[in-house]
Amino acid sequence: MREITSLKLKGLFIFPLIFFLAFSALAQIPQVPREIQFADLLVRINEQARREIQLDVDALYRNPSYFRMKAERASLFMPYVEREFRNAGVPEDLKYLVIQESGLISDAVSTSNAVGFWQFKQGTAEEVFLRVDNQIDERKNIVSSSRGAALYLKKHNQAFDNWMCALVSYQMGLGGAKSYFGTQYNGKRVVEIDRNSHWYFKKFLAHKVAFENQLGVLVSNSGFLDEVRIQGPTTLKAVAPRLGVTEAHLKEYNTWTVRGNIPGDKPYSIVYIKEGIQQANPAVIQREVSNQNQQQTQKVVTTASAFPKVTGNTQKASQPNQIQINNIDGVLADKNTSQEKFTDDIGIRERRFRRINDLDKDEPVEAGQYYYTRPKKGKAEVEEHVVQPGETLWSISQMYGIKLSSLKSKNRIREDRDLRAGMILNLRQPRKRGEEIPFVPASEYKKIIASSEQGSNTPVSTSSDVVSNVPAANTPASTPRVSSNQGRVVHTVLQGETLFRLSQKYGVSVDDIRRWNGLTDNTIKVGQKITINKP
């Protein structure tokens, strides 16, 4: 009995001790450096200003419980802030402003009646296309409001070409910031901070210093914040069972819908806590590449099941304004048709549709293919893509929602015939002039192929089959996987491919491919084996 009591007492001390040791790491108050990299600026801070900013950092750490609460909220919501800023081309460094503005409390209200995560007044919210009325207040929606904040900051930066000035204009307004700064910082990439520098920017630097190394530290393991896009009309009560949560849970995290109703004017982002560990990019593997004789360990994201990311009302994907593809409005073609007929059905001008999707004039719309109805972006959400057999520059650009011209220019590659299986294409940063496109090592390439086939819900090939189908580094990516029978090709369907594209690739008709494979229509799936009898 004494031993049991002793163990219980030890347990009572052990847990607080573990928590104390863990929190002590967090509680080491960071010191304000003399130079800070912020966005594309080098910020130099003199000693007096540094002491002033340090006092604000110390104040943020003064109450450990309060600081931890803020850090947990930041760890939940920040991935969506980062994503929206990334999509808008706004430096992610500006994300700490949301902590400064609201502490990431969705329904925070200021004394001047600014509301929500980013503390927008109603007029400003409407300027950045947020809905605010007696049904919906998107200022309280982390996705919509962050998109609005990114738009606001980007617009103001165009006036200054200086992110410090743009950030201060968030507090002063554009006119006030122009009056305060004049043109002294326009285009500057080095700024000096002293006692006379604007208080709002110094307060921001304190938040950046305080939180930049704490996101994800000591966050509870109860889950992560997940997002679904819902097209109404519906209610949180109706959506809750589908997500496996209660209506009360959805109301807690979605205060933007005043009465729990979701209108039907557009898709809305609903967030909720999902159990498990968030995987920002599924199917990530480690690889080693040799670049200019230096070994570097990097990450490559395979596209087996991660892209294109389709959200929204997928039951009505073939109707306009129902889904988003890679966070861009889009639509699914449910049958083969002409561009003219398709664009009439979805309500978009044919020429605009062609331009958005990088299509030739006479190219038909293919059943099962996703098309964009809003312009694609200049960058993808992920850094790189490993080219797989059968892929084209167009199919890769559609897969990630990146403009075809951007994909080509980033990699200094113009034609499909220049693609090679195993190439590592840049999707965000331009490749340096004269820099050769690297290849993933053969051993890792096999893993990528296997991962793709697993992600397509088809049986995984045996290791010997995978080896036999991995092209050499100098083999064009369009080279098919050939069976032992001469003159016959067995092609594994990849993301974005259609029968029409296969017919173009192999110089045969769509009808022939259907007949050879016993297909009743033009629908094919990723991972499906298609037999081609070469002419």
The pLDDT value recorded for residue 7 is: 36
Please provide residue 323's backbone torsions phi and psi, each rounded to the nearest 5 degrees. Answer: -130, 165
How far is Cα 172 from Cα 163, in angstroms, rounded to an integer?
Answer: 14
**Would you state the pLDDT for residue 116?**
95
Nearest C-alpha neighbor of 424 from the set 469, 383, 455, 380: 383
pLDDT for 158 equals: 93
pLDDT of 130 reads 93
Predicted confidence at residue 300, as pLDDT, reads 43
Alpha-carbon dihedral sign for residues 73, 75, 76, 78:
positive
Q: Is 74 exposed, middle or buried (0-12, 13-18, 19+ CB in 10 A)?
A: buried
Query: What's 493's DSSP letter?
Result: P
The whole-angstrom separation of Cα 103 and Cα 443 is 47
Give the list of residues 6+ apart from residue 318 with CB closer than 8 angstroms, or none: 331, 332, 333, 334
Q: What secondary structure, in 3-state letters, does 205-267 show?
A: HHHHHHHCCCCCCCCCCCCEEEEEEECCCEEHHHHHHHHCCCHHHHHHHCCCECCCEECCCCC
Specify the pLDDT at position 288: 32
Domains of the chain, start order:
29-211 (1.10.530.50), 224-274 (3.10.350.10), 284-426 (no CATH), 480-535 (3.10.350.10)
Neighbours of 324 (CB within 10 A): 21
- Written as one string, the DSSP assignment of 454-488 is HHTTSPPPPHHHHHHHPPPTTSBTT---B-SSTTE
Q: What is the pLDDT of residues 207-257, one digit of tens each?
A: 999 998 877 654 554 678 888 888 888 999 999 988 889 999 999 999 999
Residue type, 413: I
At residue 305's C-alpha, the angle toward residues 303 and 308, to 5°, is 70
Q: Pick the closest to residue 169 from 144, 186, 190 (CA basis).
A: 186
Regions of the chain short of the pLDDT cut 70: 1-27, 216-222, 276-306, 441-487, 495-497, 500-501, 504, 521, 526, 534-535
Residue 100 pLDDT: 95
Rg (CA), the chain: 27
Half-sphere exposure of 222 (CA within 13 A, CB side): 9
Residues 6+ apart with CB under 8 A from 184: none
Encoding tokens for residue 14?
A: 């052990």
Report the C-alpha gap between 399 and 395 in whole angstroms.
6
pLDDT of residue 143: 94
Q: Dmax over Cα atoms in the chain, in whole Å?
A: 87
Q: What percent of the chain has pLDDT over 70?
A: 76
Q: Is the dihedral of CA 104, 106, 108, 109 positive or negative?
A: positive
pLDDT of 445 reads 54
